[in-house]
Chain A
Amino acid sequence: AQTVTQSQPEMSVQEAETVTLSCTYDTSENNYYLFWYKQPPSRQMILVIRQEAYKQQNATENRFSVNFQKAAKSFSLKISDSQLGDTAMYFCASCRDNDMRFGAGTRLTVKP
């Protein structure tokens, strides 16, 4: 079974600065996918970024990028130029076939 660990329950960052959220996972599979989802107070689950495990290149989406270390089973999310609208819970997830496992989440607060 897959497990996903987010070791930072809460983090804060000043507006316009950079923050990195940590995630480690444990899977015995070779073919899997990794995701970061954002959940603002509205409770919606919004996809932030995805990474295919077979790709060595780190995924980027505008201000969001990942540091994917496959051997270390690490998948951290970097948010550059943080904005007030980035305040949310962030969930890391590992997906193999239809089995998606989520971490417990990191609550990120962006301060003005």
Chain B
Amino acid sequence: NAGVTQTPKFQVLKTGQSMTLQCAQDMNHNSMYWYRQDPGMGLRLIYYSASEGTTDKGEVPNGYNVSRLNKREFSLRLESAAPSQTSVYFCASRFGTLYSNQPQHFGDGTRLSIL
């Protein structure tokens, strides 16, 4: 019963380094999402992919890129990490696309610290 799997769970980077966070789901979901969670704030949407081959910006996309590799996998890349990107990152997926009441299923998160 894997659901949504994120790797790695923890990572420490130096300013300016690059990194790719991996996400995979085995529920045959169409839509996938990347969020960041900062203290005192709820989750904020970085990017999403409504279907294989498409990606769109969310609320806070600056400094990030994404790739929807196939239906299962959706990666998030930090090209030049900055301390402001220190956060907990969550990947989520959902069955259905628009106008869907289906909830998002979340991974366990990646805690990323940038020094």
Contact = CB atoms under 8 A, between A and B. Distances in A.
Interface of A: 1, 4, 6, 31, 33, 35, 42-45, 47, 50, 52, 91, 93, 97-105
B46 to A, nearest CB: 12
A99 B58 contact: yes
Interface residues of B, number: 26
Contacts of B43: 45, 91, 100, 102
B42 A99 contact: no
Contacts of B56: 98
B33 A44 contact: no
B29 to A, nearest CB: 12
Nearest to A43: B109
Contacts of A99: 45, 58-59
Contacts of B44: 102
A101 B106 contact: no
B70 interface: no
A97 B104 contact: no
B31 interface: yes
Given A4-B42, A43-B109, A44-B108, A101 B99 contact: no
A50 B45 contact: no
B88 A98 contact: no
20 contacts: A1-B59, A43-B88, A43-B108, A44-B106, A44-B108, A45-B43, A45-B90, A45-B106, A47-B103, A50-B101, A52-B101, A93-B42, A97-B98, A97-B99, A98-B56, A100-B104, A102-B43, A104-B40, A104-B42, A105-B41
Given A50-B101, A91-B43, A93-B42, 8 more contacts: A47-B105, A50-B103, A52-B101, A98-B56, A98-B97, A99-B58, A102-B43, A105-B41
